[in-house]
Structure 1
Amino acid sequence: MNLDDLPTLAVASAAAFGLALLSAVAGFGGGVLLLPVFTALFGLRVAVPMLTLTQVSSNAFRGWLNRRELHWRLIGWFALGAVPLAVAGGLLLAHAPLGPLKRLLGVFLIGVVVWRRRNPQPRKPAEQSFAVVGAASGLGSALLGSVGPLTAPLFLAYGLTRAAYIGTEAVSALTMHLSKIAAYGTGDLITSRVLLFGAALTPATLAGAWVGRKIVGRTSDRVFVVLVEAGLVAAGVLFLLGL
């Protein structure tokens, strides 16, 4: 890393802090909103593995902060589906054409908002069904960076709230992100630059998660959901336009 990288690092750190804080409060949204920022700064094929590195630290810290409320059986079922599909998606990313992948990401981001609006209170899923949720999440996250806004309603519908929801969702996602890193490494996507920036962004990510933890319960979830959804639509349109 040289001096020319410092302005880029400063912008990326500010974004990582703010969106890690958002994730800690609302339980979702940080990763999928951070992806357009990283894509603009580094390019999509670098942004996805770099985002994964920041998500590892953020999710691990959120899981540890809420460790007494974790629902381990749910995490196990999620990981059963997520790990193999995350590896497959991570290997595919190394060879996927970037143009169609960006447009797919744009459609996905807008589709997330539509789906959430049409299914604000989905039925309580069976515990075993989280293996399917994990499989879809693993593949989608490996190719598109983050699918938290799509899976969040299912964790909530299961009956998890506050610390149990935030911690369980975070550790479930952690199993997926660790699998993605292994696949990205095999596909030569974990370069020295990705590792350096990932390490440099970790303090901002952890600080955002810690501050977010302090304000959980003091801020309206409704406000955060609206902000996240507005960001998703804006990012989706930009990706569809090829920006």
Structure 2
Amino acid sequence: MTVLLLAVSSFIAWVISSLAGGGSPFIIIPMVNFLLETPAIPPVVTTGMLLGNLQRVFVFWRDIDWRLTWWYLPGAVTGAILGAIAFTQTHLEWIQTLLGLFLVSSAFSLFVGESKPSFQVSGWVFLPAGFIHAFLSGLLGSIGPILNPLYLNYGLFKEKMIGTKSAHVLVVHIAKMCTYASLGAFTQSYLWYGLVIGMAAIPANWIGQQILQKMSDEQFHKFVTVLITISGLSMLWNQRRFFAVLLQ
């Protein structure tokens, strides 16, 4: 039953992620936490995300912006390794709060600007952004689609955004997986459950691709913006205890 529930929830998550430029961890992580245990989240989710995004790279290979990818890689690899190491030593709740506020404010600017870039983004921005994104991903497990506003304002939509982002995330998860393995965070059962998540992505990514081809850039933009908003509000809601303590 555990495998079935994990496979079904992962399938749904990957379909939605294909249409919104990300967000699958927001479904997969709570399910892994419910079905397994908290220590299982980083290794299981990382394995599943690695396999799912690997398949997306093959599917959207021709749409990947390689120039942007070369800007992203150096910072991302370094950040992922340092973040995964720091994961075992600290947990900073205020980071989730800042990320939530960033996503909500970004979504507001995207709504106001409709399909036009709310701010211009150059390729070099992804060097430091990649480091920060990968570091926080390794530290917190998942940080939501915080780079989506940058991808949109750089000018990537639909297949180009999905393909490029998948290539970027794939590198992050490879670095995280190697680091978690070196720290002894993997077990045989964790790897098996991660494979279930990754295998569920194969049909889901194909279905998502078929639907994505029928979407306009404007529809995709709105879908991504809605995801950014939901992700930001979800992060803030999860930190409600932090706000309660802060206001005391």
TM tier relative to shorter chain: 0.7 to 0.9
148 and 217 in structure 1: CA distance in 2 versus 1, 3 angstrom threshold = farther
1:159 aligns with 2:149: no
Aligned position for 1:119: 109
196 and 231 in structure 1: CA distance in 2 versus 1, 3 angstrom threshold = same
Aligned position for 1:76: 70
Q: Give how far 1:15 is off.
A: 1.4
8 and 231 in structure 1: CA distance in 2 versus 1, 3 angstrom threshold = farther
Aligned position for 2:20: 26
57 and 64 in structure 1: CA distance in 2 versus 1, 3 angstrom threshold = same
Aligned position for 2:233: 233
Quote the Cα distance in structure 2 between the aligned partners of 1:109 and 1:129.
Answer: 18
Aligned-partner residue type, residue 31 of structure 1: P
Aligned position for 1:174: 170
| Aligned 1:1-243 pairs, distance under 5 A | 7-96=1-90, 100=91, 103-104=93-94, 107=97, 110-120=100-110, 121-219=117-215, 220-221=219-220, 222-223=222-223, 225-226=225-226, 229-230=229-230, 233-234=233-234, 236-238=236-238, 240=240
235 and 155 in structure 1: CA distance in 2 versus 1, 3 angstrom threshold = closer
Q: Give how far 1:88 is off.
A: 0.8
Quote the Cα distance in structure 1 between the aligned partners of 2:76 and 2:132.
Answer: 7
Quote the Cα distance in structure 1 between the aligned partners of 2:17 and 2:165.
Answer: 11
Quote the Cα distance in structure 1 between the aligned partners of 2:49 and 2:27.
Answer: 12
Q: Which runs of 5+ in 2 are unaligned?
A: 111-116, 243-248
Q: Give how far 1:39 is off.
A: 2.4
Per-residue deviation, residues 36-61 of structure 1 (Å, max 9, x unmatched): 33223333331122111111111111
Aligned-partner residue type, residue 116 of structure 1: S
Q: Give how far 1:149 is off.
A: 1.5
130 and 110 in structure 1: CA distance in 2 versus 1, 3 angstrom threshold = closer
Secondary structure of the equivalent of 1:149? coil
Indicate if the aligned counterparts of 1:45 and 1:94 stay in contact, CA closer than 8 A. Answer: no
Aligned-partner residue type, residue 203 of structure 1: M
Quote the Cα distance in structure 1 between the aligned partners of 2:136 and 2:210.
Answer: 31
TM-score (norm 1): 0.84
Secondary structure of the equivalent of 1:57? helix
Per-residue deviation, residues 176-208 of structure 1 (Å, max 9, x unmatched): 110010111111112222111111222212221
Indicate if the aligned counterparts of 1:94 and 1:184 stay in contact, CA closer than 8 A. Answer: no
Secondary structure of the equivalent of 1:150? coil
Quote the Cα distance in structure 2 between the aligned partners of 1:173 and 1:165.
Answer: 12
Per-residue deviation, residues 108-160 of structure 1 (Å, max 9, x unmatched): 66335423234324422221111111001111111223334210111111111
TM-score (norm 2): 0.83
209 and 80 in structure 1: CA distance in 2 versus 1, 3 angstrom threshold = same
RMSD: 2.4
Q: Give how far 1:231 is off.
A: 5.9
179 and 227 in structure 1: CA distance in 2 versus 1, 3 angstrom threshold = closer
32 and 8 in structure 1: CA distance in 2 versus 1, 3 angstrom threshold = same
Q: Give how far 1:105 is off.
A: 7.1
Q: Which runs of 5+ in 1 are unaligned?
A: 1-6
